[in-house]
Structure 1
Amino acid sequence: MSAISCWNGHKVMNALPHRHLFAYAAPALALAMPTLPVYVFLPAYYAQTVGLGLAATGAALMLARVFDVVTDPVVGYLSDRVPTRWGQRKPWMVLGGMIAAPALVALVSPPPGAGQMYLALWSLLLYLGWTLIAVPYTAWGADLSRDQRERTRITGWREGSMVAGILLAGLLPVLLEAFGADQVEPMQAIAWLALMLGGVTLATLVWMVPDAGPDRNQTSARPPLRRWQSILSLWTNGPFMRLLIAWCINGLANGLPAATFLLYLDHGLQTDEMTRNGLLFAYFLAAILALPLWAAAAARWGKPRSWSAAMAVAVLAFAVVPFLAPGDDLAFLVICLLTGAALGADLALPPAMQADVVDFDTWRTGERRAGIYFALWSMASKLSLALAVGLGLPLLEALGFTPSIEDGPDPVWPLLAIYAGLPVVLKTAAIVLIWHHPLTPRRHRAIVSRLARRQSGLSGEGSASRDQ
């Protein structure tokens, strides 16, 4: 790995070579592909085609999701604390792949007579495998560099690869449907393509990219924390808690439009199926294309201000939605492009900020705990998305929107309130939290410098910003 690289005129220490960066980001494409069949196609398939019914299908998937949230901190702890001869992060990802692969195949190819326990068991194993891959994977990205701009570059490549995987998974059913495929074949095609790509990219990652894990030399200057001190230090990390709360609020603001997107297109804009697919594709394509722009903005103005600007763009776009009428497809395409571009910042910048607050924790505690921090980050993401569906849809019904042909057209204003109104309020609150985030680029550089002096055995840490 080269010691110094230049990126946008900025000298980057320990910059990741392009071949390592590509090898690190590539597995995200395969990891993201199954999310479309698992979260969109699978529930309806088991409820209707397999014949479990909505209640039984929902209960089985809810059980698996609850277990999924609980496993995050466990996997994060193991990834941080259990070194192996093969590396700190790699073994857990390989184990996760070995669990997730057969589980995904079993879910998209159920045998005759598959019931609720079948769905619950294989869903639970799939989520466990995904967690074993995702938590060490994101923590590994934080281990690869301590430079703020280089971390933005690393997370940008990884999240861009993930969005590309979602796009590929969304395009494949359209192509198969054109050739007369039934409901099951697209799910199976996406699953098998994800497994093939995942096997190749994960093997390449394990072979090419160094896995040093947390730097244990950093802990020598201070005694290890006791367990209660370790837990307390997480919640007293001011920059982390501020970032985590903003991330949860923004995640809910993104989850509400996602949960009501198709409803708005059907009842608000009254679009046809081809237009819906085109708008969805444009949304994710804009996210990919905007990633380099947000990376450049973060290099110039810092990640907190750049992320705040992206959320402000989304706020302005959502504020226009209530003024659209049925048939305003072109205007809504512009909104999809703007909110999709803002999604690019949501994907790249907050995880890079998360890696920076891990450095702050290392300076405070003497321990490197990227795994547990990214596990908490993952838990917050899952809870935000669950709340978006669990609260947004019932609230929509409580406000009088219950789509039914027999009852005639429903009032559109509740749909506009959930789809566009609440995201405007929530994202504005997130902007207030992030705009003056205390871990500025200058303070982060000071922390990294002190960590380097500590590691080399020098004194003089100073007394800066323990109370941030």
Structure 2
Amino acid sequence: MPFYVVVPEFYARSVGLPIATVGAVLLAVRIFDAITDPLIGLLADRTRAGFGRRRIWVLIAAPITAGAAAMVFLPPAGAGALHLLVWAGLMSLAWTALSVPYYAWGAELSTSYAGRNRVVAARETLAVVGTVVALLAQAVIPAWWGGGPASALAGLAVLVGLALPATAWLAVAAAPEPVDRSTQRLGARDGVAQLLANRPFRRLLAAFFLNGLANGFPATLFLFYVGDRLGAADLAGPLLLVYFLCGVAGVPLWLALARRSSKHRAWSVAMLIACAAFLVAALLGPGDLGIFLAVCVITGLTLGADIMLPGSLQADVIDVDTAASGEQRSGLYLAAWGLATKLALAAAVGIAFPVLSWAGFEPASGQASETGLLTLAVLYAAVPVALKLAAIALMWRFPLDAAEQARLRAVIEARRRS
């Protein structure tokens, strides 16, 4: 959350980089990810260590991620685009080396359709709790010590520097290493062919990217929208807090709906509700804070579905590949998943910031024309609706349900026994 929500605005407004330059740097970092993500996914699947093929990556990458994050959050005087590019690139690489094995670890802990919901719900609920802690730190630290956004990011650098390595150690010590259910190893050409042949995966990945891009626009532009469009910059923190708390509150609702219907239908319903709320947000302006608070509550509740159900579905589509190929390649699949997440967020920045600059919205110089503010509202709220509707069209008739996933697991286990 600090990197995707706070850092772009901080470098554009406080450091003084042109908003289009910030967008270009973050897009370049994600292009770098396009190379490193699948490579790390492949290496994580092929790692053979007595300590655990997932654990070893998490343990080594956590302190590197924390150190690089500190350099991004604490830019020295005179820092420019090169500083952001180098340290954000290293942070992203280290975070990939941590997160791909970590998410593959979670995907392999349960083999049942409903059990995966519970694993992902627990993991992502705690991730949202961590986000809430970051939000509170962002609000409390400047109030205690002053210094505005710079002191908030400094405090977050310390928080990440201490908490990330410590919690990585806790995970390694407390969580079991998952069983590798591979019965053979594929060559590079066969592996790529099997990946491309996995039609449910391709469909889910496309929907996830579209929904991630839809979420990336408001995530990137939230502080600008609240501060410049609604004229309530001081309330951005509390509104974000409401949003994420509602995300935690919504998880049991979507778990129940997924049990009664299916994961893909429950996710589609959540996206439809979010579309209705965003349509309202596109029409708001100064003085509409009460309505926007309601929008934050509604979209926050749907966040519970966004953070849980796609990740659980991802574990199911990995079963399609494992049943067909005989190799459990969770790391490679989760790398593609993580890359889609990063590219969606980077595309949101890479599209939104140049468009805003062209429309006359330039925070570093205090420029905010009427056209710029209107463009801000459209990018924040209207564009996400079109993207989410496209994702719903892909997911409404998704072919993997509980019965099909159980059949795939039976094939996988039968191959292992033979």
TM-score, L = length of structure 1:
0.81
Q: In the alignment, which residue of structure 2 is the partner of 1:209? A: 175
From 251, 269, 272, the equivalent of 1:312 is 272
Aligned in 2, Cα 1:61/1:405: closer, same or farther, shift over 3 Å? closer
Q: In the alignment, which residue of structure 2 is the partner of 1:138? A: 103
Q: In the alignment, which residue of structure 2 is the partner of 1:170? A: 135
Aligned partners of 1:271 and 1:329 also within 8 Å: no
Query: What is the distance in 2 between the residues matched to 1:319 and 1:53?
Result: 29
User: Is 1:383 aligned with 2:343?
Assistant: yes
Report the Cα offset of residue 394 of structure 1. Answer: 3.4
Measured against aligned partners, the alpha-carbon deviations of 1:283-313 in whole angstroms (never above 9, x if no partner) come to 1111111112211221221100100110011
Q: In the alignment, which residue of structure 2 is the partner of 1:185? A: 151
Secondary structure at the residue paired with 1:179? helix
Q: In the alignment, which residue of structure 1 is the partner of 2:191? A: 230
Aligned in 2, Cα 1:322/1:174: closer, same or farther, shift over 3 Å? closer
Q: Which has the higher contact order (CA 8 A, sep 6+)?
A: 2
Aligned partners of 2:5 and 2:222 also within 8 Å: no
Q: In the alignment, which residue of structure 2 is the partner of 1:69? A: 34
Query: What is the distance in 2 between the residues matched to 1:333 and 1:394?
Result: 28
Q: In the alignment, which residue of structure 2 is the partner of 1:333? A: 293
Q: In the alignment, which residue of structure 2 is the partner of 1:123? A: 88
From 221, 225, 232, the equivalent of 1:272 is 232
Measured against aligned partners, the alpha-carbon deviations of 1:115-174 in whole angstroms (never above 9, x if no partner) come to 665544333322221111100000000110111111111111111111221221111121
From 231, 235, 242, the equivalent of 1:282 is 242
Report the Cα offset of residue 254 of structure 1. Answer: 1.0
Query: What is the distance in 2 between the residues matched to 1:290 and 1:429?
Result: 23
Report the Cα offset of residue 446 of structure 1. Answer: 1.0
Secondary structure at the residue paired with 2:119? helix
Measured against aligned partners, the alpha-carbon deviations of 1:229-278 in whole angstroms (never above 9, x if no partner) come to 2101111101000100101111111112223333433454x332333322
Q: In the alignment, which residue of structure 2 is the partner of 1:12? A: none
Report the Cα offset of residue 184 of structure 1. Answer: 3.2
Q: In the alignment, which residue of structure 1 is the partner of 2:68? A: 103
Tell me whether 47-56 or 99-108 shows the greater mean CA deviation: 47-56
Query: What is the distance in 2 between the residues matched to 1:328 and 1:54?
Result: 26
Aligned partners of 1:214 and 1:370 also within 8 Å: no
Aligned partners of 1:140 and 1:213 also within 8 Å: no
Q: In the alignment, which residue of structure 2 is the partner of 1:31? A: none
Secondary structure at the residue paired with 1:410? helix
**Amino acid in structure 1 at the alignment position of 2:412:** L
Aligned partners of 1:95 and 1:129 also within 8 Å: no
**Amino acid in structure 1 at the alignment position of 2:400:** L
**Amino acid in structure 2 at the alignment position of 1:451:** I
Aligned partners of 1:80 and 1:214 also within 8 Å: no
CA RMSD in angstroms comes to 2.7
Aligned partners of 1:304 and 1:434 also within 8 Å: yes
From 195, 202, 217, the equivalent of 1:241 is 202
Q: In the alignment, which residue of structure 2 is the partner of 1:256? A: 217
Which of these two proteins has the greater Rg computed from alpha carbons? 1
From 378, 382, 401, the equivalent of 1:417 is 378
Q: In the alignment, which residue of structure 2 is the partner of 1:348? A: 308
Query: What is the distance in 2 between the residues matched to 1:45 and 1:324?
Result: 25
Aligned in 2, Cα 1:352/1:81: closer, same or farther, shift over 3 Å? same
Query: What is the distance in 2 between the residues matched to 1:106 and 1:402?
Result: 28
User: Is 1:449 aligned with 2:410?
Assistant: yes
From 148, 157, 161, the equivalent of 2:113 is 148
Aligned partners of 1:172 and 1:186 also within 8 Å: yes
User: Is 1:293 aligned with 2:253?
Assistant: yes
Aligned in 2, Cα 1:48/1:250: closer, same or farther, shift over 3 Å? closer
Query: What is the distance in 2 between the residues matched to 1:293 and 1:323?
Result: 28
Tell me whether 199-208 or 305-314 shows the greater mean CA deviation: 199-208
Measured against aligned partners, the alpha-carbon deviations of 1:184-226 in whole angstroms (never above 9, x if no partner) come to 332222122223222322112111211135223x43xxxx433
Report the Cα offset of residue 333 of structure 1. Answer: 1.1
Aligned partners of 1:47 and 1:53 also within 8 Å: yes
Query: What is the distance in 1 between the residues matched to 2:186 and 2:249?
Result: 44
Query: What is the distance in 1 between the residues matched to 2:231 and 2:104?
Result: 41
Aligned in 2, Cα 1:350/1:72: closer, same or farther, shift over 3 Å? same
Aligned partners of 2:26 and 2:349 also within 8 Å: no
Aligned in 2, Cα 1:203/1:180: closer, same or farther, shift over 3 Å? closer
TM-score, L = length of structure 2:
0.90
Query: What is the distance in 2 between the residues matched to 1:160 and 1:227?
Result: 36
Query: What is the distance in 2 between the residues matched to 1:260 and 1:44?
Result: 8
Aligned partners of 2:278 and 2:385 also within 8 Å: yes
Query: What is the distance in 2 between the residues matched to 1:246 and 1:137?
Result: 23
Query: What is the distance in 2 between the residues matched to 1:51 and 1:396?
Result: 16
